Amino acid sequence: MMMKSKILFTRKFKKPSGGQFKVRDYFRHCMAHPKLEPVLYLTPDSEENEARSFWDFAPRGNIVDAPALENYDLLFLAGRDWEHAPEIPSHVRVINYIQHVKHAERNDKRFQYLSRPAWRICVSEEVAAAIAPFAAGEVSVIRNGIPLELFSTAREKQEGSIFIWARKNPALGQRLFETLQAQDRHVDLLMDFVPREEFARRLQANEIFIALPHETEGFYLPALEAMAAGCAVICSDAMGNRGFCRHEETCLTPAYNDYDEHVRMIERLLAEPVLKESLRARGSAIAQAYSLAVEREEFYRLLDHVL
């Protein structure tokens, strides 16, 4: 029987987020790898009930109460997970998953960890370019994958319907919502996380998706998920989304936090059905290249070197 390499994931979990979903995807990739045995350590300050629900697919035997790093061959760290691994034994190889360009900013708490040796996985070319001058070890790009079967075009959309995802910019989202309501538009506003299946259903039900990202992002999953679900997307440039958010090709890109420009682009899509359908078609097409299967294959190629 082949001995498997044990890989430890450490996670502080408060609530679902794009970053939490992606770490969970990589845990699943490791579960499916014939040479790996993934183990999860949830930090004591995690929200226990929510964390257990989020990780309910992981076998109980693969969840531990203490990290005990010396018992592992590999360590998978994302974000500030380094805080829970202050002393890493010399035999343990580290895979560092990096999801934001801000890691390269000296005043960011995560910057200090770039000097520690690791194989680094960046979610976009923009993230890799940002951290490369400071990173100790190999830097690779593996673009985020999404579950295309969940974010599909399975449902019929109501013509002219609009969905605003405003968790990262609630003030602008609320203002756009009130403007569209006053115009008697069919508009749906979401300010906080809902189960991912519910988020997918809302995308599938609406024709136009207004994404309100931070000014910089490492990737920005919601815009890509909306494209996969057949929406015409309006999303500002956020650096890490440039691989799939292409103005007038796959989406419209108003200036960040510009209310008037967002309104103009919404009105344009409502008035130009040919443009709306073109963005929907091209967005859906580009999203097909961002599957979890492709992400897994690229991760496995990296593991061939690490192992």
Q: How would you class 135 by CB atoms within 10 Å of its CB: exposed for 0-12, middle for 13-18, buried for 19 or more? A: buried
pLDDT tens digits for range 27-69? 999 999 999 999 999 999 999 889 989 999 999 999 999 999 9
What pLDDT score does 153 carry? 87
Element (H, E) at 262: helix 259-271
If asked whether residues 295 and 281 sit together in one domain, one would say no
- For residue 177, give the CATH number of its domain: 3.40.50.2000
Which residue do the tokens 């939490």 mark? 20
Handedness of CA 250, 254, 257, 263 (dihedral sign): negative
In a domain, 200, yes or no: yes
Residues 84 and 164 in one domain: no
Question: Is 0.75 topped by the overall pTM?
Answer: yes
Find the helix or strand (DSSP H, E) in which 226 lies.
helix 221-228
Q: What is the pLDDT of residue 2?
A: 67
Residue 102 lies in a domain: yes
Residue 218 shares a structural domain with residue 244: yes
The SS3 of residue 182 is helix
Q: Are 141 and 216 within one domain? A: no
Q: What is the pLDDT of residue 86?
A: 83
Complete DSSP assignment for 89-145: -TT-EEEEEE--GGGGSTTSTTGGGGGS--EEEESSHHHHHHHTTT-SS-EEE-PPP
Predicted local confidence at residue 1, as pLDDT: 55
* 177 and 135 within one domain: no
259 and 194 co-located in one domain: yes
Q: How many domains does the chain have?
A: 2
Residue 204 is part of which domain span? Answer: 158-287
One domain for residues 12 and 132: yes
State the residue for tokens 């380094």.
82
Residue 115 is predicted with a pLDDT of 96
Which stretches of the chain drop beneath a pLDDT of 70?
Answer: 1-2
Both 105 and 192 in a single domain? no
